[in-house]
Structure 1
Amino acid sequence: MKVINPEKLKSANEHYIVAEHTTPVHKYVDALTFKLASSLDNRSCKVSGYSVSQLWYAVLDFGTNYCNLHNLIEGSGLDKVSGYSESTNNSKCTQYSSANCTIY
């Protein structure tokens, strides 16, 4: 069985990581961006991330953009790291409260 990786790294440097994610069913392309910043003492870092649908009409995406990030963080185990926190809501992430990330 051939496994197809739907994520594609677009660019990366010490400040940003930019990638694309293709949704499994309808093959929509979402842009993922991560901003990396070190602490003043260089002993920790802060990563801010967001996912945006490339299609203007994908506003009611049932939390797909949230799930893009959630599944990546959970799958990597970073949600278990001391100091990890998440800040989102329905106004920041459309349909966040109804997202079912197990289907992606």
Structure 2
Amino acid sequence: MLIRFVPPAPIEVSVSKGVTYTREWDGEKLVTFLQEGLEIWAGEKHPDFELRVLVSRQAEIRFENWKPDKKMAEYLRQEIGDQMSVVMEGIEAEDYLSE
């Protein structure tokens, strides 16, 4: 299963009146964290899944070498999306943003 992950938008930080700078998310570091969290979940719930998470400009969950029926695919995409949200709640933003 291939999960294409789109990092959040950069954050504008106000330094002083009229002065801001942009902090970018470290996409590769986020993907590593997400991959590890999803592997723990998948290992317990769906041990047959082989997960790959990549940084992308378009979000997508693709089933590779397997074509579930439409209802199963919808269910799995929803379940994976929900689990991605749970995993991402665990991040400390400061650890994943540029200086």
Q: Whose strand proportion is higher, 1 or 2?
A: 1
Which of the pair has more CA radius of gyration? 2
Question: TM-score, length-normalised on structure 1?
Answer: 0.29
Q: Which has the higher contact order (CA 8 A, sep 6+)?
A: 2
Question: TM-score, length-normalised on structure 2?
Answer: 0.29
